[in-house]
């Protein structure tokens, strides 16, 4: 393990996804592949999770700034939707608002690694946005994790966990924890239960189709391509079913046009680098999930991508470097893609 600041980073800690090293403010090169990507917006700070709001705009969590920004999907104009959330603790390099979701017109923010056990003074959990600078904590996930540690054995260095993705589900939420290796189910009144627990597989992004939950797995260090998986499970499942694998360090999964499933890979790690190091610069990719369990790269050379969204036939990729890339030509991607089938159908 590598000592970073005050912590020991184990293979299951999600720092390798988000990087303890401040990335370049700009991508080194333009993404390439079958699809054409255009730079929509820049200047976001510690941008990780995102969602599409009820108004059709992109909303992005900025951990370093402690805010949620609204991004016009056509012009790229950035405005502040909510500010004053707990920021990333500088000695850790990750945390604060990490994802955002809406139920109806109400926004909720997932905040992580800001609790006293890691040197902060705030609550790790789900915050409801009550106004531009006012919030209510509706679920204290850090406290729940302290009182309900994993029963599966793997190294744990931060007992409050590292929550990564927030997904609306059946009137409440699903939350992945990339350090404690489990998915929590959280009601809007703050009730928290463990939905499903895993070995050291590093769960990341989520997507839902009907009752079926799709989840991306980064896999443990050194994040081999065969360990980057998309899996599925139901609300009463005790284990997950592998849907596809073959891309390093998967950080998100989303449905696009025609309910085709796509996943986002941050890319391979730097050879010989210790745990806690970022993926290789400009090595990320957007992949299509095929029905035979493989993936097909359709856009590569992405620089530290963190989340993926679709609006109609357009995809949006958010990066840790503060960029949003817009990919417009998904209308014809299914016909161009070389995968053997259109991927798993919605259930």
Residue 308 and residue 195: Cα distance in Å, rounded? Answer: 24
β-bridge partners, 300? 32, 285
Number of other residues whose CB lies within 10 A of the CB of residue 298: 21
Residue 223 has a pLDDT of 79
Write the DSSP symbol of residue 30. Answer: -
Q: Are the C-beta atoms of 228 and 245 separated by less than 8 Å? A: yes
List helix spans (H) across the chain.
15-18, 141-147, 333-336
Residue 222 and residue 202: Cα distance in Å, rounded? Answer: 12
β-bridge partners, 309? 316
Pairing mode, strands 37-41 and 241-245? unpaired
Residue 218 and residue 250: Cα distance in Å, rounded? Answer: 5
Q: C-alpha 201: how far from its chain's center?
A: 14
Compute and round to an integer the Cα radius of gyration of the chain. 18
The vertex-165 CA angle with 161 and 169, nearest 5°, equals: 115
Residue 205 and residue 98: Cα distance in Å, rounded? Answer: 12
Mean pLDDT of successive 10-residue segments in the chain (347 residues)?
Answer: 34 44 50 82 97 98 98 98 96 93 98 97 98 98 98 94 97 97 97 97 96 95 88 97 96 93 90 66 94 95 96 95 90 48 40
Q: Which of 338, 299, 319 is nearest to 37 (CA)?
A: 299
β-bridge partners, 233? 213
Residue 19 has a pLDDT of 43
130 — alpha (psi -120 to 50), left (phi > 0) or beta? alpha
What secondary structure does DSSP assign to 111-170, as a single string?
A: EES-SGGGT--S--EEEEEEETTEEEEEEEHHHHHHHS--SS-S--S-TT--EEEEEEET
Residue 21 has a pLDDT of 39
Domains observed in the chain: 31-336 (2.120.10.30)
Number of other residues whose CB lies within 10 A of the CB of residue 302: 29
Residue 186 and residue 140: Cα distance in Å, rounded? Answer: 10
Q: Which of 265, 217, 278, 206 is nearest to 49 (CA)?
A: 206
Residue 6 has a pLDDT of 32
User: Maximum distance among all alpha carbons in the chain?
Assistant: 52
């Amino acid at each position: 393990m590598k000592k970073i600041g005050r912590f020991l980073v184990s293979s299951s800690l999600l720092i390798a996804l988000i990087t303890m090293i401040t990335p370049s403010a700009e991508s080194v090169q333009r993404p390439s592949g079958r699809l054409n990507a255009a730079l929509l917006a820049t200047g976001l700070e510690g941008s990780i999770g995102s969602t599409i709001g009820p108004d059709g705009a992109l909303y992005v969590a900025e951990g370093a700034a402690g805010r949620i920004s609204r991004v016009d999907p056509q012009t790229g104009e950035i405005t502040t939707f909510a500010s004053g959330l707990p920021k990333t603790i500088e000695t850790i390099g990750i945390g604060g608002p990490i994802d955002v979701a809406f139920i109806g017109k109400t926004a909720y923010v997932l905040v992580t690694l800001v609790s006293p056990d890691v040197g902060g003074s705030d609550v790790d959990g789900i915050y409801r946005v009550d106004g531009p600078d006012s919030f209510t904590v509706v679920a204290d996930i850090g406290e729940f994790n302290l009182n309900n540690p994993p029963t599966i054995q793997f190294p744990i260095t931060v007992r409050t966990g590292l929550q990564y993705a927030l997904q609306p589900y059946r009137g409440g939420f699903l939350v992945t924890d990339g350090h404690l290796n489990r998915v929590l189910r959280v009601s809007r009144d703050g009730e928290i239960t463990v939905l499903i627990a895993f070995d050291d597989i590093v769960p990341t992004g989520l997507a839902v189709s009907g009752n079926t939950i799709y989840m991306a797995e980064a896999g443990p260090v050194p994040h081999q391509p065969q360990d980057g998986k998309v899996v599925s499970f139901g609300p009463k499942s005790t284990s997950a079913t592998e849907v596809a694998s073959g891309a390093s360090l998967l950080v998100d999964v989303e449905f696009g046009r025609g309910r085709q499933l796509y996943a986002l890979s941050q890319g391979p790690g730097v050879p010989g680098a210790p745990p806690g190091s970022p993926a290789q610069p400009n090595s990320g990719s957007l992949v299509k999930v095929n029905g035979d369990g493989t993936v097909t790269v359709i856009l590569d050379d992405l620089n530290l991508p963190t989340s993926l969204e679709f609006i109609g036939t357009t995809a949006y990729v958010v990066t840790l470097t503060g960029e949003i890339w817009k990919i417009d030509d998904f209308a014809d991607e299914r016909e161009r893609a070389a995968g053997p089938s259109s991927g798993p159908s919605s259930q």
